[in-house]
Amino acid sequence: MALEIERKFLVLNDSYKQESFSHSHIQQGYICSERGRTVRVRIRDEQAFLTIKGLSTDNGLSRYEFEKEITLEEGKQLMQLCEPGMIDKIRWLVKFEQHIFEVDEFFGENAGLVMAEVELSSVYESVKLPDFIGKEVTGDRRYYNSHLRKHPFKEWK
């Protein structure tokens, strides 16, 4: 297992699209989405992955993550076992300074939500933020994909 360390932010505008060097379509479902552990199936363009994540620590900044690429057919079959609700998004990759920001533009039940994540090498690493970055939401469970599946953005008040 590897330790995933990341910060999450809301996005202020769509300038990230012009700054992006790549984007891909992602659909993901959850076989298990209990607090403290999730098992996710993700289809990203023509690739599929099975991911297991542990409990968040450091106020949501880090958690253990195990990810394994599986065949596209396996991914499609495992999607049939997922809990109700699907995450559908375009992920845009933006290089800024020494970091890659992953900007997720959500569709379907979560349309209107745009978030950015940046992975860090340590919880103490500093990061410069591009102009499109807004409020930090690291550790706010409402913004976890597994939570958005159960409580979509369109239902928020």
Residue 124: count other Cβ atoms within 10 Å of its Cβ.
8
CA–CA gap between residue 23 and residue 78 (Å, rounded): 24
Of 89, 140, 92, 147, the C-alpha closest to 118 is 92
Residues 6+ apart with CB under 8 A from 154: 109, 110, 111, 112
Backbone angles phi, psi at 140, to 5 degrees: -85, 105
Annotated catalytic residues are 30
For residue 31, which amino acid is it?
A: I
Question: Which residue is it, tokens 């591009």?
Answer: 130
